[in-house]
Structure 1
Amino acid sequence: MFGMISIYRGDTIFALLPGTRGLELPNAIATKLNEPGQTEGEKWQSFAIEDDGELSAALKHLEEAYGKAKK
């Protein structure tokens, strides 16, 4: 996606971080959970990081998406 930093595990994208532009909110990240039966758009979840206390939850979202990404 233009303006976003794409994060990959091997050849599989699993996260988007704000680069020169944000998602719905400028402080949001997006993670891709490869669940069977979902459309491509439904696989993506955005998560806004409002304060330092939400960093732990954001890292858990990234860890889950990384684990579900194929190597």
Structure 2
Amino acid sequence: MQRASAIASILSGLITIILTYYKPSAYWNNASRKFFRPLIGDRATAVLHYAIGAGLIAIGIILVI
């Protein structure tokens, strides 16, 4: 069960990073991004989501160990 959680966490992190990089309209204009973008700007919102993705990957790696 822990391995499945680790894989899910890593995949979620990778998907978050990939979608943040390519910024497809359906993802970038989502409610959470629309909330943060006016407050902190596009660049800071992207950095925040990169950090979230990296955190998910780190959690997944820790769960595998």
Would the TM-score normalized by the shorter structure come out above 0.5? no
Higher strand share: 1
TM superposition score category, shorter chain reference: 0.3 to 0.5
- Structure with the bigger RCO (C-alpha within 8 Å, sep 6+) is 2
Higher helix share: 2
TM-score (norm 2): 0.34
